[in-house]
């Protein structure tokens, strides 16, 4: 699913896909890892919706997509972060006269950075790490969609927002009971930026 469509909960398997080798030497998730990523995002969606008390019908107003390395454009790839959140502007489909554009967010997972972290730390597991990363990014997206935070904030405000999102993610996942998640929560208990933001609003 490309950045022009709104994704519903539970449809990740139709969204994230793996075309190994598309980006040269960058390490992409293999098919087994893709299945784990899909599972992690489903968990993260439920956790995020529950935390913000968003009903299933309301969730459709959270306009986002999730992509892995194989489905990303050059502008959606970064180094040194687990994800990039890219903002686009879209018209409703079908477009009617007088329709206004809306903001659409794409969570661009950086397979190469995530797999490097796993290779570096033998105690780190993909499922709990991806639950953490996906929840963190979805918290950002929900806060953007609810106008609780400006996407184009200045550096200091953006830094404070990152701290808030970090704390929300830690609280939301604290009692999940997922195997090896405590290791991730402990490892990332101190504030640290997990993503970069890129504004492509007006791009096709």
Return the pLDDT at 11: 38
Return the pLDDT at 200: 75
Asked, for residue 123, whether it belongs to a domain, the answer is yes
Band the pLDDT of 132: cuts 50, 70, 90: very high
Which of these ranges, 23-27, 34-38, 152-156, has the smallest mean pLDDT? 23-27
Q: What percent of the chain has pLDDT over 70?
A: 77
Asked, for residue 92, whether it belongs to a domain, the answer is yes
Asked, for residue 170, whether it belongs to a domain, the answer is yes
Asked, for residue 96, whether it belongs to a domain, the answer is yes
Asked, for residue 91, whether it belongs to a domain, the answer is yes
Average pLDDT rounded to a whole number, residues 69-84: 92
Return the HEC string of 31-71: HHHHHHHHHHHHHHHHHHHHHCCCCHHHHCCCCEEEECHHH
Residue 171: φ, ψ to 5°: -65, -45
Asked, for residue 182, whether it belongs to a domain, the answer is yes
Cα separation, 91 vs 152, whole angstroms: 20
Return the pLDDT at 6: 38
**CA-to-CA dists, residue 152 to 80, 145, 172, angstroms:** 21, 13, 25
Residue 70: CATH number of its domain: 3.40.390
Average pLDDT rounded to a whole number, residues 188-198: 70
**Residue numbers of the domain that contains 43:** 12-199
Asked, for residue 136, whether it belongs to a domain, the answer is yes
Residues 6+ apart with CB under 8 A from 116: 27
CA proximity to 129, closest of 37, 13, 11: 37
Asked, for residue 4, whether it belongs to a domain, the answer is no
8 A C-beta contact, residue 3 and residue 106? yes
67 or 96: which leads in pLDDT:
67
Average pLDDT rounded to a whole number, residues 160-167: 90
pTM for the structure as a whole: 0.81
Please state the domain count of the chain: 1
Return the pLDDT at 195: 67
Task: Scan for tokens 């995020």, then name that residue.
Answer: 48
DSSP 8-class letter at 195: E
pLDDT of 147 > 70? The answer is: yes
Average pLDDT rounded to a whole number, residues 160-165: 90
Which of these ranges, 82-91, 132-141, 173-182, has the smallest mean pLDDT? 82-91
């Amino acid at each position: 699913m490309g950045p022009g469509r709104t994704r519903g909960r539970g449809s990740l398997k139709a969204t994230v896909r793996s075309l190994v080798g598309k980006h040269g030497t960058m390490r992409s998730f293999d098919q087994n890892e893709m299945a784990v990523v899909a599972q992690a995002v489903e968990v993260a969606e439920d956790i995020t919706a529950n935390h913000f008390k968003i009903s299933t019908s309301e969730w459709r107003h959270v306009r986002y997509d999730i992509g892995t390395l194989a489905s990303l454009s050059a502008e959606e790839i970064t180094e040194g972060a687990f994800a990039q959140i890219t903002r686009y502007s879209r018209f409703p489909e079908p477009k009617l006269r007088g329709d206004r554009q809306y903001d659409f967010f794409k969570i661009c997972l950086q397979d190469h950075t995530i797999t490097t972290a796993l290779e570096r730390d033998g105690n780190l597991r993909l499922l709990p790490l991806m639950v953490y990363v996906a929840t963190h990014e979805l918290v950002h997206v929900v806060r953007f969609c609810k106008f609780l935070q400006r996407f184009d904030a200045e550096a200091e405000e953006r830094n404070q927002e990152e701290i808030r999102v970090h704390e929300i993610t830690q609280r939301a996942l604290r009692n999940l009971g997922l195997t090896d998640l405590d290791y991730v929560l402990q490892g990332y208990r101190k504030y640290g930026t997990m993503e970069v933001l890129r504004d492509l609003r007006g791009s096709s």
